Amino acid sequence: MQVFYDRASFSQYINHLKENHKTIGFAPTMGALHNGHLSLYQVARQQNNIVISSIFVNPTQFNNPEDLEKYPRTIDADIKILDSSTFVDAVYIPRVEDIYPNGMVSKHYNFGGIENEMEGAARPGHFDGVGTVVEALFLQVRPDNAYFGEKDFQQLKIIEKLVMLSGLDIKIHGVKIHRQDNGLAMSSRNMRLSADEREASTIIYKTLKNVNDWFRVLSIPEIKKRVEDIFSNNGMQLEYFLIADEDTLKEVNFFSEDKNYRAFIVVHVGSVRLIDNMHLG
């Protein structure tokens, strides 16, 4: 696996691939890699000649400076994980100036309103930061296919919109949430959980499965009340739980026949903010 630490050498590599008509599959990351990331590269490996990873902890998408500071940085271990996976041909680890040549500011995007729901409302500026870094990476990597985990389902929808708005010829693929055996969704933030907190966090997935059982059996206000009770009884802080239309990502209060729905949840376990979601039905 090749490792590139700056834009100039990486661009030469990409130009060479393009001259040789290689198809490129790409999944950007912020490092602290786990099996969830590898599942993206495993899918990409089957569909492309060349698979590229990137590692860049993007400051502009963190609205909370403490969260940015505490974000795990494990670059040497990450390179080893990618190398031994055999799914990845090259990893790009850009410097700040490679992504932000004109200073570290986000572009402002209008993604048709989905940027204002859920994570957009909870983390102001977050999706402008994500859009800015992903657009910059797309322009440098020039992939044919790009892969994003469904754990960040709203981010996946934002990236689909970003590609449409910017006219980039990149196919976006959503990849199913990768879970530990106990159901906890794989996340770089899980590294910051103690053993007890990890165990306690399994309630998130169990609750989502219950919600799926209650789908179209109970009303949405009844489902929300049950979820709120579960978390108030076990002492974890539920930041939000809601059921949204999968296309608009707007919260709904009743189900219609012809729509797809997904449950979204954010829970604070100790000082760690965990997010998860599940398609209903």
Active site annotation includes 178:
no
CB 161 → ligand PAF: shortest distance, Å? 14
* Cα distance between residue 39 and residue 210, in whole Å: 26
Q: Which 20-39 positions form the footprint of ligand PAF (CB under 6 A)?
A: 28-30
- Decide: 89 and 44 in contact? Cβ < 8 Å: no
CB 228 → ligand PAF: shortest distance, Å? 28
CB 34 → ligand PAF: shortest distance, Å? 11
User: Which of 24, 51, 93, 134 touches ligand PAF (CB under 6 A)?
Assistant: 134
Query: Should residue 162 be labelled a site residue for ligand PAF when binding is judged by CB under 6 A?
Result: no
Map residues 141-160 to x or -, x wherever contact with ligand PAF holds by CB under 6 A.
Answer: -----------x--x-----
Query: Should residue 58 be labelled a site residue for ligand PAF when binding is judged by CB under 6 A?
Result: yes
CB 232 → ligand PAF: shortest distance, Å? 30
* Cα distance between residue 232 and residue 27, in whole Å: 37
Query: Should residue 177 be labelled a site residue for ligand PAF when binding is judged by CB under 6 A?
Result: no
- To the question of whether residue 187 is assigned a binding role by annotation, the answer is yes
Query: Should residue 52 be labelled a site residue for ligand PAF when binding is judged by CB under 6 A?
Result: no
Residue with tokens 């993604």: 111
* Cα distance between residue 274 and residue 204, in whole Å: 9
Task: Find, among 175, 170, 125, the residue nearest to 152 by Cα.
Answer: 175
- To the question of whether residue 155 is assigned a binding role by annotation, the answer is yes
Q: Which of 16, 37, 108, 173 is catalytic?
A: 37
Q: Which tokens in the block code for residue 160? A: 């689909």
- To the question of whether residue 189 is assigned a binding role by annotation, the answer is yes
Sheet holding 90-92, edge to edge: 2-4, 90-92, 50-55, 24-29, 145-149, 171-175
- To the question of whether residue 152 is assigned a binding role by annotation, the answer is yes
- Residue 191 or 213: which CB sits closer to ligand PAF? 191
CB 221 → ligand PAF: shortest distance, Å? 32
Which of 78-86, 114-122, 129-137, 271-279 is the region at the interface with ligand PAF (rule: CB under 6 A)?
129-137
* Residues designated as active site: 37
Question: Per the annotation, where are the binding residues for ATP?
Answer: 30-37, 149-152, 186-189
Residues near ligand PAF, by CB under 6 A:
28-30, 58, 61, 130, 133-134, 152, 155
